[in-house]
Amino acid sequence: MKLALRTARLGLTGLEFASGIPGTVGGAIFMNAGAYKMDMGYVTTTVKVLDPNLNVKVLTNHDLDFHYRSSFLQRAKNYICLEATFLLRKGDRDTILEIIKDRKLRRLETQPLEYPSAGSVFRNPDNDFAGRLIEEVGYKGKRIGDAMVSNKHANFIVNMGNASGDDIKKLILEIKKQIKDKYNIDLIIEQEFVK
């Protein structure tokens, strides 16, 4: 978010989509973070990585094999993203900041930003929306401990106070099973579980 705002204030366009996405640049590249029909794959030209043999390599956009919420780095988890180069274009600073402001207002209206969360839980399946499916199986407002499926947007699990990682994980896996059982859709989890 900080990088998107900093580049916008410099009159550089291309990262407006990232202005509301929490996380780091390396994490955004790893998962090919995106919004509003844009993602990191559209702006990333090269990434400097440390490979498993401790060699520093430069990967091109083509090497990174960006697709919807995925990249080469997800399949090669022992590569470490060190540095990235983006191709941004000159634009009108005020117009860019207005786009960011508009998108922030849309997010505030549709996403539960008033509570801590890790963002969208599941990738949208082809030609559908994870939030719609979760709502259809009656999970909007469902709780396990202080982890709750948001009443504002069902693809967000929010912390209502003292949710544990286990509470959140249980709720995610329960939702995944419900969607698989009812629709035979295997939702892909956007978060990474760390043991």
Digitized pLDDT (tens) for each residue of the chain, 195 residues in all: 899 999 999 999 999 999 888 789 999 999 999 988 999 999 999 999 999 999 999 999 999 999 999 999 999 989 999 999 999 999 999 999 999 999 989 888 889 989 999 889 999 999 999 999 999 999 999 999 999 999 999 999 999 999 999 999 999 999 999 999 999 999 999 988 887
Of 94, 121, 137, the last residue of a domain is: 94
* Assigned domain for 193 exists: no
pTM comes to 0.75
Integer Cα distance of 155 and 141 in angstroms: 11
CB contact at 8 A, 115 and 161: no
**What tokens appear for 102 in the block?**
């508009």
Distances from the Cα of 13 to the Cα of 16, 22, 69, angstroms: 7, 19, 21
Question: What does the DSSP 8-state code read for residue 30?
Answer: H
- 75 and 19 both lie in a single domain: yes
Contacts of 101 (CB under 8 A, 6+ apart): none
> In this predicted structure, what is the pLDDT of residue 180?
98
Give the chain's domain count.
2
* Assigned domain for 56 exists: yes
> In this predicted structure, what is the pLDDT of residue 4?
94
Residues marked as catalytic: 69, 120, 190
* Assigned domain for 195 exists: no
- 87 and 125 both lie in a single domain: no
- 119 and 89 both lie in a single domain: no
**Within 10 A of 185 (CB to CB), how many other CB atoms are there?**
16
Displacement of CA 88 from its chain's centroid (Å): 20
> In this predicted structure, what is the pLDDT of residue 194?
81
Integer Cα distance of 186 and 171 in angstroms: 15
> In this predicted structure, what is the pLDDT of residue 113?
87
**What tokens appear for 14 in the block?**
């291309």
Domain that holds residue 80: 2-94
